[in-house]
Structure 1
Amino acid sequence: MKVVESGGFSHAARQPGMSQSAVSKLISRLETRLGARLFNRSTRSLVLTAEGCAFYERAVTVLSDIDEAERQVGRGEQPIGRIRLNTSASYATHILEPLLPAFCSQYPEIMLDIVLTDALIDLLAERTDVVVRAGPLKDSSLIARKLGETPMLIVASPDYLQQVGEPASVIDFDQHKRIGFGYPRQIEGWRFISDGEPVHANPAIGVQASDGEAIRRLTLKGLGLARLAAFTVRDDIAAGRLKVVLEDHYAEDSEAFHAVYTGQGGPLPARVRALLNFLAEHGTVK
């Protein structure tokens, strides 16, 4: 293309800093590989053959397509495109949803695809950009940005406590039912301090659900005790819809939230960086 557009080998050689003979050899190698002559050469002129014209026109199209592809990828420097975000229903309901108008206004060319689940997922298999989860990070191939830490509270509805009785000690949990998660958790049961000693309480499960927000709603319905993140139930406690039990007996019990993403495969796209930065600034839990 450079030879055609500059009108000769010598002119084509100047821009890349090559010799005229080097350019001529490259054209000869190309013609040999293609099995066709691209130029008719003379001491005074260089004229494209029919095959050369066809090859040049196709090459222009191909390189134009490559340039366009690079521009599309280069737009990754701007926050644009689709982000698949997988998060818990609790985080989505109490933290993310109130923030979405501001995020969408700030980044109008980002399309968020939000999937709600508390279960662990494979980011690559699920084609997911960012996952928000509670608990420690185990997979060393992933990177996490901390989104704060929240106390965990044991709560129940006033109706439930009136019916079954409010526990006065850890031993009283034997008379109660808990609302649990429908999948294995890193920490099963509840941790308390009784007479200065750590105690592990594990009330029988009466009902279980697949996510924390469903467990909160079931707790509001009076179906049992539940261990829930403080940021999800503060409004319910303030309004009297839920009550904290045995708060004076809690051991240190909190969970950190992280935005998790893959750390392999080069720099993060700007759209993903924009979301991570936004969550780190506005989407923290307490």
Structure 2
Amino acid sequence: MLAPVLSDFLARYPGVTLDIVQTDAVVDLLSERTDVAVRAGPLKSSRLVARKLGETAMVIVGAPAYLTRLGVPRTIADLDRHDRLGFSYVRAADGWPLRRDGETVVVPPVGRVQASDGEALRQLAIGGNGLARLARYTVRDDIAAGRLVPVLEAFNPGDREDFHAVHVGQGGPLPARVRALLDFLAERGTVA
């Protein structure tokens, strides 16, 4: 979400410098001396202030070569014969929610590979290492280019993953650089 808009932010605010750390791990903003973090998914209760930036749909994808080799899953039960790439850290969700007969079924991501980073999961899926459930904005270009193919869309529950900017500060004044970044990200926040 950040990379495509940071050039515009830097052009608008030439006096602000950025030190960007990309990780899917939850960073302790105080101990890491971090002004702002962008977090996807449900937020845990904390003393941080959160500002919703947008939301995105989720999609299960696989590489064409992988799907040719193992078959395109047509039912939830078909997932049993597939490597399901997942995150290697505990997330708020226990697995992949899917809808069947009006009920939600949660399928755990079980397979040979897990990663702590969404971009790593994307690359693993493109490389034919399994199916991945990722934010649609993350894989939109890959789907358009044919590198990844959505699967089990009939079972997609239509859930959306929120993303927020979080920062320290309980209503006190924010440094101008933090306020500028928060306002800019909120202005550019998208629903994908």
Q: Does the alignment reach a TM-score above 0.5?
A: yes
* Contact 1:180/1:207 (<8 A) preserved: yes
What's the CA shift string for 1:91-134, capped at 9, x where partnerless? xxxx3222222111111111101111111121101101001001
Structure 2, unaligned runs of 5 or more:
none
AA aligned to 1:227 is R
Read off the aligned partner of 1:157 and give its amino acid letter.
A
Bigger shift: 276-285 or 162-171? 276-285
Where do 5+ consecutive residues of structure 1 fail to align?
Answer: 1-94
Question: Could you tell me how far 1:137 is from its partner in structure 2?
Answer: 2.6
| Greater Rg by CA | 1
2:37 match: 131
Distance 2:98 2:45 in 1: 29
Q: Secondary structure at the residue paired with 2:173? A: coil
1:121 to 2, 8, 27: 27
Structure 1 window deviating more from structure 2 (184-193 vs 264-273): it is: 264-273
Rounded to whole Å, the distance in 2 between the matches of 1:253 and 1:142 is 25
Q: Normalising by structure 1, report the TM-score.
A: 0.64
- Residue matched to 1:247: 153
CA contact (8 A) 1:147 1:258 kept: yes
The 3 A distance-change label for structure 1 pair 143 and 165 is same
CA drift of 1:252 comes to 3.3
Structure 1 moving runs of 4+ over 6 Å: none
- Give distance in 1, aligned partners of 2:45 and 2:109: 31
Residue 149 (structure 1) aligned with residue 55 (structure 2): yes
Residue among 235, 238, 241 paired with 2:141: 235
Deviations 1:43-70 (CA, angstroms, capped at 9, x unpaired): xxxxxxxxxxxxxxxxxxxxxxxxxxxx
- Contact 2:42/2:92 (<8 A) preserved: no
**Structure 2 residue 106 is the aligned partner of structure 1 residue 191:** no
* Mapped partners of 2:166, 2:143: distance in 1: 30
* Aligned counterpart, 1:158: 64
Partner of 2:124: 218
CA separation in 2, counterparts of 1:265 and 1:150?
28
Contact in 2 for aligned 1:189/1:201 (Cα 8 Å): yes
| Map of 1:57 onto structure 2 | none
| Identity rate, percent | 61
Which protein has greater RCO, CA pairs closer than 8 Å, 6+ apart? 2
**Number of residue-to-residue matches in the alignment:** 192
Q: What do residues 142-166 of structure 1 show as CA deviations (whole Å, max 9, x unaligned)?
A: 1111111101100000100000011
Indicate how the Cα distance of structure 1 residues 197 and 102 shifts in structure 2: closer, same or farther if over 3 A, else same. Answer: closer
* Cα distance change on mapping 1:232 and 1:184 into 2, 3 Å: same
Aligned to 1:226, what secondary structure does the other structure show? strand
Q: TM-score, structure 2 length as denominator?
A: 0.94
SS at match of 1:273: helix
- Larger mean CA deviation between 161-170 and 184-193 belongs to 184-193
Residue 65 of structure 2: SS of its match in structure 1? helix
Q: Secondary structure at the match of 1:232?
A: helix
- Residue in structure 2 matched with residue 177 of structure 1 by the alignment: 83
Aligned amino acid, residue 101 of structure 1: S
Find out whether 1:277 has 2:183 as its counterpart: yes
Superposed CA RMSD in Å reads 1.4
